Structure 1
Amino acid sequence: MTQPLKDILVLDFSTLLPGPMATLMLSEAGAEVVKFERPATGEDARHTDPKIEGESIGFAVLNHGKRSVALDLKSIDAMNVLRPLLEKADVLVEQFRPGVMDRLGLGYEAVRAINPRLIYCSITGYGQTGPKATAAGHDLNYVGDAGILSLSRGPDDQPTMPFGLIADIGGGTYPAVVNILLALIARQKSGNGAHLDIAMAEGAFTFAYWAHAEGVVAGQDIKSGGSRLTGGLARYRLYSASDGRQIAVGALEEKFWQAFCDVIDQPADLRDDQSDPAACSAEVARRLASQPSTYWEPLLAAADCCCSVVKTPAEAALDPHFTARGLFDRKLDISGETVAALPLPITPEFRMSRGKAGRASNLGEDNIRYGAEPSDTK
């Protein structure tokens, strides 16, 4: 099958995570992605640990398969390099604070005058407008402002950090990719490009849809860890086995809950987790803590009751289910060492050959290809 984004040219002015992951997905679907970086140092992610032979693994994971052009965007010669690319580009992704691209002469209106068909995607923490538009922030700030951290923040003396970068990826990367693809479809009908204003904090709200229903629409007071999806019910929470491993109990439906209770031999008078949630949870915790996870795992699997042992990332990568589906078959070359590439939610039919080993370009490796001065940075 032909890759759906073949012949699509993407200019990538983003750094770190949200934008680079978005352009990686576009690249995996066939787009040509040209990444612009600071001369001499490149983007900050090139210098993050861990590394293989001096090459950042994190950078390579997010930027393999892209072209690298080292270019000082503030130089008077920058537009000589950029204009030919802007004239034929389909997508531009930038991640500066509002106003920065305008000051560089690369704002949306200036670029639209060069190429009215361009899809211009701006990814920021709070969007292009509003009181917080220019405020600095990171994922933790965005999910805090979106109300998500308050839902399951843990004890006051040891607050729980989010398990993943929800705003960066869920509020930045995914909305960017979805809206870029929608804009490309819309352009087929109208012939016009668009300016996409992606705000990571806003995208984070979607991940707690039930909190919107309960806390915003219904006006209920949602206590930390007290909702049915954050540990308020005995049937949907984490428990510890005797070996310290955690058991993820997700038996929301009654049939799964009863099957789980049968496995742990929960007393009949303590199976109603609505009338006395604390007593029910305490008994479940006591029973699960009586045996190691290796004892519970096969029993829970046989019961098929939405309960499982929590895995580490390394264990998950070796799970027979994921290996059978080829989740880690795609390979990445980092300084000559072949490693598993980051799994991405792109259907295999739309991607390059499954086992192909890609790599991240050296800083400025593609300068000559795109009309920029040669770069001697490796």
Structure 2
Amino acid sequence: MRPLEGLLVLDFSTLLPGPLASLILAEAGARVVKIERPGRGDEMRVYEPKLGDDSVNFAMLNRGKQSIALDLKAADAVEKLTPLIRRADVLIEQFRPGVMERLGLGYEALRQLNPKLVYCSITGWGQSGPKAHTASHDLNYIAETGVLGLSAGADGAPVLPPVLAADVAGGTFPAVMNILLALRQRDITGLGTHLDIAMGDNLFTFLYWGLGSGFSGAGWPKPGGELVTGGSPRYQIYRTSDDRHVAAAPIEDKFWENFTRIIELPEAMRDPAAPEAEAKAAVAARIASKSAAEWQALFAGQDVCCSIVATLEEAVADPHSTARGLFTHTLKAGGQEIAALPVPLAPVFRAEPTRGIAPRLGETTDPLLSL
């Protein structure tokens, strides 16, 4: 039995943070019902590339769910949803603060119908504060919380990240964690709660080291000046002779000693007292003397904490990914079947590899609303 079997989740969210959160709950056994607007549905459905009628992004994030198409502004919308609300265990919404209240679906109204409901609101800046109603995307959250400012490219400008850190790490994961905590609390008290998940708030956790330095008076971190921002030869990306890259992280002395021995770094540059800029340049010169394949062969089986920077295609095909079964689950949409998105659930909490099907817009509207 998957641990969340028997739980009903109503998901009013769109795009990424909320749908990924409800996907994780679904993979753990919960029944997830998406509430979508008629005609268009979740905005993610229209993204490119397509997998059948909808986008592959939508299929990736919404496999195994059910879909209701309902105009939430209609006079009878709340009445139609009331039977489901009374039975629901969890509700996820991602509107700006106040929208659900105006629709008659705010927490205070719904807890009168269902005191056990765990009501999770995911927003960029939270339910209160000066930025609460500010429109933002992932790039804005990492920009305004200091994360982006600590990255720097060759020209010193911040580097555009390829991952949606605020949406997933600041929104989805805290939402799932707090939903599970709230369900555990409900086991004890019999009552649900309202969860205020703010993506911007949650990004500060990732900068624990910088906050500690700043708060303690040791100085606020700068891009290119700290251990993990490029200030040390022991935590760097170095170019190879064939224009690939080595991600080198031999931070501890034992790893540094192995690394510098293998790359034949001059003795003077191995000394921890060596000027960092000179040591970085010396390491860069050595790494630039061989190809990525040559370095990969030399580092193989050695404790050096070094990796060849892989493409996504290479990472998916890595034998370790295959051995871990990361892409054994599949999803089906539009007559096509592809590997499903891996989710961070321990295998013990998931069913054997399954085929998830992405829901067509409103396909379960009538049966679910007629209960």
TM value normalised by structure 1: 0.95
Look up the match of 2:95. 96
Look up the match of 2:296. 297
CA shift at 1:157, angstroms?
A: 6.8
CA shift at 1:274, angstroms?
A: 4.5
Amino acid at match of 1:283: A
Q: Is contact 1:263-1:303 (8 Å) kept?
A: no
Amino acid at match of 1:175: P
CA shift at 1:55, angstroms?
A: 2.7
Please tell me whether residue 210 in structure 1 is matched to residue 212 in structure 2.
no
Look up the match of 1:335. 334
Question: Could you report, residue by residue, the CA deviation over 1:318-360 in whole angstroms, capped at 9, with x for unpaired residues?
Answer: 1101101111111111322221111111011211222x11111
Aligned ranges 1:289-328 → 2 under 5 Å? 289-328=288-327
Q: Is contact 2:91-2:120 (8 Å) kept?
A: yes
Question: Could you report, residue by residue, the CA deviation over 1:162-182 in whole angstroms, capped at 9, with x for unpaired residues?
Answer: 231111111100100000000
CA shift at 1:156, angstroms?
A: 4.8
SS in 1 for 2:228: coil
Look up the match of 1:288. 287
Q: Is contact 1:235-1:257 (8 Å) kept?
A: yes
Tell me how far apart the structure 2 counterparts of residues 274 and 216 of structure 1 sit (CA, whole Å).
27
Distance 1:146 1:274, change over 3 A: farther
SS in 1 for 2:78: helix
Aligned ranges 1:137-156 → 2 under 5 Å? 137-156=136-155
Structure 1 window deviating more from structure 2 (216-225 vs 307-316): it is 216-225
SS in 1 for 2:64: coil
Question: Could you report, residue by residue, the CA deviation over 1:239-298 in whole angstroms, capped at 9, with x for unpaired residues?
Answer: 111111110101111000110101110011011355300110001111111111010002
Look up the match of 1:376. none
CA shift at 1:231, angstroms?
A: 1.4
CA shift at 1:223, angstroms?
A: 1.6
Tell me how far apart the structure 1 counterparts of residues 352 and 91 of structure 2 sit (CA, whole Å).
26
Look up the match of 1:246. 245
SS in 2 for 1:248: strand
Look up the match of 1:357. 355
CA shift at 1:80, angstroms?
A: 2.4
Q: Is contact 2:46-2:55 (8 Å) kept?
A: yes
Distance 1:365 1:217, change over 3 A: farther
Look up the match of 2:179. 180
CA shift at 1:159, angstroms?
A: 3.2
Amino acid at match of 1:165: L
SS in 2 for 1:303: coil
Q: Is contact 1:120-1:196 (8 Å) kept?
A: yes
Structure 1 window deviating more from structure 2 (334-343 vs 169-178): it is 334-343
Look up the match of 1:67. 66
Q: Is contact 2:148-2:158 (8 Å) kept?
A: no
Aligned ranges 1:153-168 → 2 under 5 Å? 153-156=152-155, 159-168=158-167
Amino acid at match of 1:23: S
Please tell me whether residue 368 in structure 1 is matched to residue 366 in structure 2.
yes
CA shift at 1:372, angstroms?
A: 6.2
Q: Which runs of 5+ in 1 are unaligned?
A: 374-378
CA RMSD of aligned residues (A): 1.4
SS in 2 for 1:178: helix
Please tell me whether residue 6 in structure 1 is matched to residue 24 in structure 2.
no
Tell me how far apart the structure 2 counterparts of residues 133 and 272 of structure 1 sit (CA, whole Å).
50
Amino acid at match of 2:358: A
Tell me how far apart the structure 2 counterparts of residues 145 and 217 of structure 1 sit (CA, whole Å).
22
Tell me how far apart the structure 2 counterparts of residues 78 and 147 of structure 1 sit (CA, whole Å).
41
Look up the match of 1:189. 188
Structure 1 window deviating more from structure 2 (158-167 vs 100-109): it is 158-167
Distance 1:274 1:222, change over 3 A: farther
Tell me how far apart the structure 2 counterparts of residues 53 and 120 of structure 1 sit (CA, whole Å).
33
Tell me how far apart the structure 1 counterparts of residues 35 and 215 of structure 2 sit (CA, whole Å).
42
Q: Is contact 1:234-1:273 (8 Å) kept?
A: no
Q: Is contact 2:145-2:204 (8 Å) kept?
A: yes
Q: Is contact 2:247-2:306 (8 Å) kept?
A: yes
SS in 1 for 2:121: strand
Amino acid at match of 1:148: V
Look up the match of 2:18. 19
Q: Is contact 2:210-2:220 (8 Å) kept?
A: no
SS in 2 for 1:34: strand
Please tell me whether residue 270 in structure 1 is matched to residue 244 in structure 2.
no
SS in 2 for 1:126: coil
Question: Could you report, residue by residue, the CA deviation over 1:163-202 in whole angstroms, capped at 9, with x for unpaired residues?
Answer: 3111111110010000000000000000010000000001
Tell me how far apart the structure 1 counterparts of residues 278 and 369 of structure 2 sit (CA, whole Å).
70
Tell me how far apart the structure 2 counterparts of residues 292 and 156 of structure 1 sit (CA, whole Å).
25
Distance 1:273 1:81, change over 3 A: farther
Tell me how far apart the structure 2 counterparts of residues 215 and 26 of structure 1 sit (CA, whole Å).
37
Identity of aligned residues (%): 52
Q: Is contact 1:301-1:308 (8 Å) kept?
A: no
SS in 2 for 1:232: coil
Amino acid at match of 2:261: D
Q: Is contact 2:222-2:229 (8 Å) kept?
A: no
